[in-house]
């Protein structure tokens, strides 16, 4: 029902916003005020979460916000957003940019502009080592995931003969995998990597699981910017492009997704202009 509520809310908000939105010049505004407000997640490690020690929001997304404000020479203000609230917040002007694990898709691109892809992930599978080498190995098998996610639909499309078991949350699906009740758990690789990290911390399961290189959907994340604010889009793209060249972008990736992190991932993308 949460989704329905969000749907109604967003419809109402969208109705109220019609006509109010005019192309803003975020760049000039931010310089004038000396502050840029960045909408981030605050409970989704390692993208954006509250650090237990410092009580500050940290993460991959936050580091990109920091780099942009540094380049711009203004102060950074972080504002927590949810997946449902981030676009209305941006359009209303409560935040200036979204850095909140937002997948770029055509539907969203009708309402806001996106930067170049600054993080690239995709839906993959978490399995016991050596049991699954290709999608064929999953045919007719049982696959676990969490309810209500797009992961479920993608998996059903990719392996029609498999039985998809939807649990309430990912940790349960992983438990079912450990007990042999499913042969794979499927969702965004960044989430799976977090679960794999947990399994590898446990001495009894260390090194027994893997994420095979089978990707069934692409999830390119982009920074969200108000529609028509071309100046700011160009500025952001230039900034993250330079970060790629200087190696800073890679450093940020290694910090949160490196081999010693809780969510070890391979960096299979580069920030490229126009992508």
Partner 1 sequence: MLKYKFDWAVVTSGKYFDWLASGLYVTIQLSVVSVALSFLLGLIIAVMRMSHVRPIRWFAHGYLEFFRNTPLLVQIFFWYFGSYKILPQAVNDWMNRQNFEFAAAVVALTIYTSAFIAEDIRSGVLSIPKEQMEAARSSGFSYLGSMRYIILPQAVRLTIPPLINQFLNLAKNSSLAMTIGVAELTYQARQVESYTFKGFEAFTAATLVYVVISSVITILVNIYNKTVLRPMRAR
Within 8 A by CB and 6+ apart from 274, the residues are 116
Using CB under 8 A, count the residues that bind partner 1.
24
- Select from 31-39, 41-49, 63-71, 174-182 the region that touches partner 1 (CB under 8 A): 174-182
Determine the Cα–Cα distance for residues 113 and 199; give it in Å rounded to an integer.
38
The residue among 35 and 165 lying less far from partner 1, judged by its C-beta, is 165
Rg (CA), the chain: 20
Give the shortest CB-138-to-partner 1 separation in angstroms: 16
What percent of the residues of the chain are helix, what percent strand, and what percent coil, each to the nearest 5? 40, 25, 35
Q: Which one of the spans 57-65, 77-85, 123-131, 166-174 is the region binding partner 1 (CB under 8 A)? A: 166-174
Angle at 101 between CA 98 and CA 106, to 5 degrees: 80
Classify residue 95 by its DSSP letter.
Answer: -
- x/- letters, 215..254, toward partner 1 (CB under 8 A): ----------------------------------------
Site map for partner 1, 14-53, x if CB under 8 A? -x--------------------------------------
Structure tokens that stand for 175 in this block: 């438990």
Is omega for the bond preceding 146 within 30 degrees of 0, making it cis?
Answer: no
The yes or no reply on residue 7 touching partner 1 (CB under 8 A) is yes
Virtual torsion, Cα 52, 56, 60, 66, nearest 10 deg:
-160
Q: Which is nearer to partner 1, 11 or 273 (CB)?
A: 11
List residues near partner 1 by CB under 8 A. Answer: 1, 3-4, 7-8, 11-12, 15, 144, 147-149, 152-153, 165-168, 172, 175-176, 179-181
């Amino acid at each position: 029902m949460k989704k329905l509520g969000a749907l109604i809310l967003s419809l109402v908000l969208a109705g109220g916003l019609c006509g109010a939105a005019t192309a803003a010049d975020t760049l000039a505004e931010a310089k004038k005020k000396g502050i840029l407000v960045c909408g981030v997640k605050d409970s989704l490690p390692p993208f954006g979460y509250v650090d237990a020690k410092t009580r500050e929001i940290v993460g991959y997304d936050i580091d990109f916000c920091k780099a942009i404000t540094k380049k711009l020479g203004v102060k950074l203000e972080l504002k927590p957003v949810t997946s449902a609230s981030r676009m209305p917040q941006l359009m209303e002007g409560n935040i200036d940019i979204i850095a909140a694990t937002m997948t770029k898709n055509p539907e969203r691109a009708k309402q806001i502009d996106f930067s170049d892809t600054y993080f690239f992930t995709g839906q993959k599978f978490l399995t016991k080592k050596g049991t699954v080498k290709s999608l064929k190995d999953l045919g007719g098998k049982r696959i676990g995931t969490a309810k209500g996610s797009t992961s479920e639909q993608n998996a059903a499309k990719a392996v029609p003969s498999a039985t998809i078991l939807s649990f309430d949350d990912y940790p349960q699906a992983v438990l079912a995998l450990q007990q042999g009740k499913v042969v794979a758990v499927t969702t965004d690789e960044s989430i799976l990597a977090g679960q794999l990290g947990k399994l590898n911390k446990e001495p009894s399961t260390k090194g027994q699981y893997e994420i095979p290189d089978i990707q069934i959907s692409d999830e390119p994340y982009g920074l969200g910017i108000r529609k028509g604010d071309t100046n700011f889009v160009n500025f952001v793209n230039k900034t993250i492009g330079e970060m790629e060249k200087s190696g800073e972008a890679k450093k940020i990736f290694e910090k949160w997704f490196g081999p010693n992190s809780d969510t070890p991932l391979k960096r299979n993308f580069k920030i490229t202009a126009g992508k």
